[in-house]
Structure 1
């Protein structure tokens, strides 16, 4: 895990499975949306093999959903009133990260818009990858490579 590699159809499948798992676990209603976000959701973008899922709900449901997922074995990494995030199977061995936010909030719309921009624009993908590589190099980490 945690290796950077080229996007492949496996990422899309992992995203669908993660979304399906949440749908099975939680009673979702008409004002809930689940989206695959992050680098693994963008064809052509190198990514770590960790799937990010964004769950948009009414504000009063953020904390209860996070607590329900925690009871079911998800690792609750962080919790604010308007954003909780959990890992599966754990924060030390992530395969998936689930972000629970207020649907249509600024946090929701910015993440969806950024994902969509990267999906639609090869130049945006190239610029984003360059920034990621610079950040990795300046933080003392080995520059991401594609395997």
Structure 2
């Protein structure tokens, strides 16, 4: 799915997505032995419809984020973007994503936020329903991945704020 294509949600295939995440985690660990890897995003939440793209968080020491992202790019991952403390890559590439790999500082703010949001969605049906309603509206109206992500941002922050500081 290219970044400018419409987002389509599919019914949860949680067990399949969890297997895919595990297999990719093994590969990533072989390239980045010091990494901590977690399955994140909607595909990590049982029963939640999602884009059929598995998101993984790769936690590295503070100085290793950029180096690790470039190591993955050297090994064929498509490095889509970088900013301080966060890089993201696609597999096999951004025009046909099966995975999005987020490289973060392990235990940094963004790492904690992503894992906390996943854990809230897994454990809290009300938050999960609120998020799903926004996802469905965003998927129906967004013109691409960027619009889709921006359309969900307010509810993500709202759900995290309800729980309190990280």
Measure how far apart 1:3 and its partner are: 4.5
SS in 2 for 1:76: strand
Partner of 2:123: 120
Change (3 A) 1:23 1:140: closer
Question: Matched residues in 2 for 1:107 and 1:57: separation?
Answer: 12
Question: Matched residues in 2 for 1:93 and 1:137: separation?
Answer: 20
Whether 1:21 aligns to 2:27 is: yes
Structure-1-length-normalised TM-score: 0.87
Question: Matched residues in 1 for 2:9 and 2:138: separation?
Answer: 14
Greater fraction of residues in strand = 1
Q: Work out the number of aligned pairs and report it.
A: 138
Measure how far apart 1:139 and its partner are: 2.9
Partner of 1:81: 84
Structure-2-length-normalised TM-score: 0.78
Question: Matched residues in 2 for 1:114 and 1:50: separation?
Answer: 18
SS in 1 for 2:59: strand
Question: Matched residues in 2 for 1:75 and 1:127: separation?
Answer: 32
Partner of 1:47: 50
Partner of 2:40: 37
- Over aligned residue pairs, what C-alpha RMSD do you find? 1.6
In the alignment, which of 93, 100, 104 is matched to residue 103 of structure 2? 100
Greater fraction of residues in helix = 2
Unaligned runs of 5+ in 1: 142-147
CA-to-aligned-CA distance 1:30-61 (integer Å, 9 cap, x gap): xx311000010000100111000001111110
